[in-house]
């Protein structure tokens, strides 16, 4: 399903549409829903002292890294790819959920990924890091 398409009555289809909104800096189907400034604010680290999640959180899911990630308004924000040990770009925003679900938006690479699975516990298979690695290794300039 293309990003941005909404399906009434289908549980879970709001997230792909929302990802399309924020990836397009607040525009969906040529209609501005959020200002670019609002999207930038959402995707900025709001943790006091500009620290990363490691300073405040404790890892709840085996696949959720905290090093190098701040927290914006609703999702993690990658600030230091080296510290996070990832191929992703600084400024990427993401979050993971139960059952190994995850999403990320990398504005620098123009990538939006929604990954919807049903694996409990989330650490059953380390799919998220493998998916991220495969996506970034497939990029060609």
pLDDT one-digit tens code per residue, 72-122? 998 899 999 999 888 999 999 998 877 888 889 998 998 888 888 888 877
pLDDT of residue 4: 47
Domain count, the chain: 1
Q: Is residue 51 part of a domain?
A: yes
Q: What are phi and psi of 102, to 5 degrees?
A: -165, 160
Write out the residue range of the structural domain in which residue 123 sits.
43-137
Span 63-77, average pLDDT: 85
Q: Is residue 4 part of a domain?
A: no
Interior CA angle at 131 toward 55 and 27, to 5°?
Answer: 80
pLDDT of residue 12: 55
Q: Which of 54, 56, 78 minimizes the C-alpha distance to 66? A: 54
Query: pLDDT band at 138, cuts 50/70/90?
Result: very high
Q: What is the pLDDT of residues 4-51, one digit of tens each?
A: 454 445 555 566 666 666 666 778 778 888 888 988 899 999 999 888
């Amino acid at each position: 399903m293309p990003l941005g398409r909404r399906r009434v009555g289908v549980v879970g289809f709001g997230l792909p549409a929302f990802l399309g909104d924020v990836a397009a800096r607040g525009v969906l189907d040529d209609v501005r829903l959020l200002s670019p400034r609002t999207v930038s604010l959402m995707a900025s680290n709001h943790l006091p002292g500009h620290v990363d999640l490691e300073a405040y959180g404790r890892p709840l899911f085996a696949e959720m890294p905290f090093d190098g990630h701040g927290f914006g308004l609703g999702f993690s924000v990658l600030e230091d790819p080296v510290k996070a040990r990832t191929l992703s770009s600084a400024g990427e925003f993401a979050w993971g959920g139960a059952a190994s679900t995850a999403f990320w938006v990398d504005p620098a690479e123009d990538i939006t990924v929604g990954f919807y699975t049903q694996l409990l516990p989330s650490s059953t298979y380390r799919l998220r890091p493998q998916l991220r690695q495969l996506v970034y290794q497939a990029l060609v300039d």
